[in-house]
Amino acid sequence: MSDISDPHVQQDKRDFLKFALVGGTFAWLAAVIYPVLSYLKPPKQAEVVVNSVKAGKIADFANDSGSIIKFGTKPVILIRNPKGEFKAFSAVCTHLECTVQYRKDFGMIWCACHNGKYDLNGRNVSGPPPRPLDEFRVTVQGEEVSISKLS
Amino acid sequence: MRKKYFLFGCVAASILFFSVNLVADDQCVSCHTNVVGDKPSELFKHDIHFKKGISCADCHGGNSKMEEMEAAMNPKEGYKGVPKGDAISQSCARCHSDADKMKKYGSTLPTNQWNNLQTSAHGKLSTTGKEHIAQCITCHNAHGIVSVKSPESPVYPLNVVKTCTKCHSSATFMRTYNPSLPIDQGEKYRSSVHGVKNGKGDPKPAVCSSCHGSHDIRTSKDAKSSVYAVNLPGTCSKCHSDAQYMKEYKIPTNQYEKYAKSVHGVALLQKHDVGAPSCNSCHGNHGATPPGVESVSKVCGTCHALNADLFSASPHKKAFDDRKLPECETCHSNHEIVAATDKLIGVTTEAVCSRCHQENQNPKGYAVAKAMRQMVDSLDISGSAAITLVNEAEQKGMEVTDAKFKLRDAKQAHLQMRTMVHAFNEGKFREVVDKGMEATLFAKTEAKDAVDEYYFRRIGLGISTLIMSLLAIVLFVYIRRIEKKQAEER
Amino acid sequence: MKPTLKKLYAWVDERLELQDLIKFMAKKYVPVHSHSIWYYFGGVSLFLFIIQVVTGILLLMYYKGSEELAFESIQFIMSKVAFGWLIRSLHSWTANLFILTTMIHMFSVFFEKAYRKPRELTWLTGMLMLFLLLGFGFTGYLLPWNELAFFATKVGTEITGVVPIVGKPILQFMRGGDDVTGATLSRLFGFHVAVLPGIFTVLLGAHLLFVNRQGMSEPLHYAETPEKERKTMPFFPNFLLRDMLFWLIVLNVLAILAVFFPWELGTKADPFASAPAGIKPEWYFLFMFQTLKYIPAQIGFIDGEVLGVLVFGAAGFLWMMVPFWDRQSSRGERNRFINYIGLFVVMYIILFTIIGWLA
């Protein structure tokens, strides 16, 4: 049995082993702290948002226009009709999954791929689309327009 | 009053008079023809049933052997009078649905007509709520029924159309059942190839029942109907694929065979996509005729609208018209339209452009076709490279939803390109292809970054493992040294 | 040591009397014998607990405990946050390793009979912590809200529902309703990050305090060994440094696991989808799950599943109470019977886990 009252047994300042131990510990600390700090650094996209997306300010959307908004991994089309009311639908054409767009000249949602047309309620009215577009909910809070899933 | 007594006297007298020699005969007929002289009994004498020895009483009840009218037409003898509503068909079915009874009369007719009628639209629906729409006698008549093979029968091919249109061309009648059902089928039929030939006395071309069935007619929306979209090509082919039957009309009989192989046929017959066109979508149904060279593009254009629009505005429109070439058919064929592939465009042997645009005769068109094919190929190559990269990144467990989102655009550009080709304009085509190229480029960079990240993780792990292993070794040596020292001190 | 560092140490020492602490620790001795290796598993478990706390807190920065966002937020952590994949994989892998090391720790204590007088309370707190750990595993498993977790939780909570009288209320309490829904997620999330860690920390504090007061347990045969032959080593620095060496290796193993076998996320749970085939709980519940499968539906007048759950409950309780009924060991006598029970339990757990794994 031994009794060590002095923890720093080795007094040699040039002791390589101690140097390696301290150096190694610091390197190890760096290897642990670097990922943690990187993790805490705010990512490009500040937070996960999929059930609701901020589309922008009311003023960003002209009457009688449509814009494509990225909603998670799928596009959503936000329509503002000539009266100024908002509607949003999945922008994925129900025919072959092209992205639809708003056509001012028809006053309809139109798919460029095969001339599929939907009315402003998302109903497929002409062309190959087999069923209507899925609707999304639009909420206007003050000046802010946001889109969320209908549930 | 006096008149009545007189009439009664006459009847009584004649009964007395005839009863002597006709006592064993059918008293109904004899009395009704000779004494009353009504039309039904007159017609019944020509009826196939009368000829087979079936009596009025078999349908109307009562006792045909009795001379006395009061006795013969007594409800106690089972006399029913004139059957009403469904009771009419039920009395026909008493024999016609009984194979044994029919055999006794030497009949080879099927015995499922009543069953079929009950499952049909005519047998299920009702306009009055009391009885169903059609009874046997609606088409076959009540008295004076002749064999369906006889030209006098109302259901003989040359008479069928008249029989059906009795109701189906009457707006007042059809309204009571379904106001939205058209009533011009008869008229249209007369304008069709089938109708014209039928009108000239040819019993072979299709009549109403050839397509719709006879007793088991169902609505066209009923999946069991012979004219339900999926079943229709088979119904048409019953005649049109029968070379023997069609011999005298000198038209091909392989349309069904070709259609079944076509993209439309596969969609309809195999995938049961009822939106896919069947025979009548191009040829019309009641007014069936071939669309003809001039209008074929209009027919295709009803569904392929954008392609038709682009084509009409393209330089090809005039060129095709001048040469009297059918617009869609020239490149895509008619009954055997296969799914269009990217290979249709270009100047290779399987491409269609070079059929007209040969290098020496039409160098400009040839060059454009070649350039367009190159664009198609480069988009294809870039697209599949992007997909491979994205898949690789995904297999390595990396997150690539953004790249996948962009790949949608590439796929869309590909689809749009295939539509845009019908404008036959290199500039417009390039615009669409460029959009796709941009999307694939983005996806490729994203996927590549993800793959790089994958290797970065491994290198990072390598470095930290190295650090930790070294530290562990140093620590181990350090412990050994401390313990050695402790042992020395002891 | 450099003079400045020395000065700093002296400054702190003056105020906190570090020297005393070191002296105290250096006076602690750890017995050295052929079974000494088992002493390290308690320390490793402690280290893994620290990792869980750190990675858990880090995950909390981005995780969102709601039905709509839970799955997406984990996806977000793993793809958008720098090193998020590492933190999440570490947390999942550590959880499993943690349960494994505590089980080894528990069985080694059991076979060494280290629970005997005066360490009954240490054993009791340890067993309670093990149960809490299973609770951690169960509640944490649902948090990513993926298909597998969803159905495993459904099955897991259903089993508690079969317990007579109290089963149904417990089931509703755990699910936050009659079915596994977003309410269940919020509830289990609360348990996982607040309730369980709170209780666990108190128990861990007590456990460590007891160990410190009583020192390491000496094996039974030490009583017969003459004092001179009993080898020991000082807790500080010898044992602590060895502990750290072990920890370093464990950390490296974890890093390798996290990089080469990243914990999968699967597909988002859809409450209306039909359950995928072969739903299994986590491996540490497998032996119970598998046993319940083998019990016939009806045994006498009692429902088979109920019987199974009750038997497991009773067995767990008896196991926890072992210091109080194993009087022989407390008197310092050999008790082979305990070894046989322990061996049977270990074999049973291993066998049924393997069967459940292969099934």
Tens of pLDDT along C245-294?
A: 999 999 999 999 999 998 888 888 887 788 887 788 889 999 998 998 88
Gap from C309 CA to chain A (nearest CA, Å): 38
Specify the number of domains making up chain A: 2
Residues A38 and A101 in one domain: no
Give the residue among B360, B385, B368 at the shortest CA–CA distance from B437. Answer: B385
Is residue B133 in a domain? no
Is residue B351 in a domain? yes
Domains of chain C and CATH, by start: 27-267 (1.20.810.10)
Is the pLDDT confidence value at A60 over 90? Answer: no
Is residue A1 in a domain? no
Residues A40 and A57 in one domain: no
Stated as kind and residue range, the H or E segment containing B72 is helix B69-72
Give every CB contact of residue B192 below 8 A, 6+ residues apart in sequence.
B284, B286, B287, B288, B289
Rounded to an integer, what distance in angstroms lies between the CA atom of residue B171 and that of residue B176? Answer: 9
CB within 8 Å: B489 and A2: yes
Residue range A70-126, pLDDT digits in tens:
887 788 999 988 888 898 999 998 888 888 999 888 888 988 888 888 998 888 888
Q: Is C167 helix (H, G, I), strand (E, B) or coil?
A: helix
CB within 8 Å: B464 and A31: yes
- Residues of chain B with C-beta less than 8 angstroms from the C-beta of C245: 472, 475-476, 479
* Pick among B300, B394, B408 to test the A interface (most A CBs inside 10 A): B408
Residue range B121-143, pLDDT digits in tens:
888 888 777 788 888 888 888 88
Q: Which residues pair with C268 in a beta bridge?
A: C146
Size of interface B-C (CB pairs under 8 A): 49
Residues A81 and A17 in one domain: no
**Angle ∠(C6,C7,C8) on CA atoms, nearest 5:** 90
Is residue A92 in a domain? yes
Q: Which of B404, B412, B467 sits opposite A24 (nearest CB)?
A: B467
CB within 8 Å: A39 and C237: no
Specify the number of domains making up chain B: 1
Q: Domain of residue B355: give its range.
A: 342-452
- Residues of chain A with C-beta less than 8 angstroms from the C-beta of B304: 114
Is residue B263 in a domain? no
Exposure b/e, C111-120, CB count within 10 A at least 16 = b: ebbbbbeebb
Q: Which residues pair with B39 in a beta bridge?
A: none
Question: At A146, phi and psi to the nearest 5?
Answer: -130, 155
Instruction: For residue B387, give both structure tokens.
Output: 């997909």
Is residue A130 in a domain? yes
Residues A90 and A145 in one domain: yes
- Residues of chain A with C-beta less than 8 angstroms from the C-beta of C1: 8
* Pick among A74, A77, A98 to test the B interface (most B CBs inside 10 A): A98
Q: What is the CATH number for B359?
A: 1.20.140
CB C91, CB C52: distance < 8 Å:
yes
pLDDT at site C306: 87
Residue range B56-66, pLDDT digits in tens:
888 888 888 77
Is residue A7 in a domain? no
Is residue B447 in a domain? yes
Q: Domain of residue A33: give its range.
A: 12-44
Q: What is the ipTM of this complex?
A: 0.84
CB within 8 Å: C1 and A8: yes
Residues A20 and A67 in one domain: no
Tell me which chain B residue has its CA closest to the CA of residue C78: B399
Residue range C185-202, pLDDT digits in tens:
999 999 999 999 999 999
Is residue B232 in a domain? no
Residue A137 burial class via C-beta count within 10 angstroms: exposed 0-12, middle 13-18, buried 19 and up: middle
Residues A19 and A89 in one domain: no
Q: What is the CATH number for A78?
A: 2.102.10.10
Residues A81 and A137 in one domain: yes
Rounded to an integer, what distance in angstroms lies between the CA atom of residue B262 and that of residue B332? Answer: 10
Is residue A132 in a domain? yes
CB B200, CB B187: distance < 8 Å:
no
pLDDT at site C265: 86
Residues A22 and A88 in one domain: no
Residue range B320-356, pLDDT digits in tens:
888 888 888 888 887 888 788 888 888 888 888 888 8
Residues A92 and A21 in one domain: no
Is residue B290 in a domain? no
Is residue B284 in a domain? no
Q: Which of A5, A39, A149 sits opposite C84 (nearest CB)?
A: A39
Question: At A121, phi and psi to the nearest 5?
Answer: -105, 10
Residues A115 and A70 in one domain: yes
This prediction has a pTM of: 0.65
pLDDT confidence of B24, banded at 50, 70, 90? very low
Is residue B225 in a domain? no
Instruction: For residue B356, give both structure tokens.
Output: 């007209």
Q: Is B150 helix (H, G, I), strand (E, B) or coil?
A: coil
Is residue A2 in a domain? no
pLDDT confidence of B374, banded at 50, 70, 90? very high
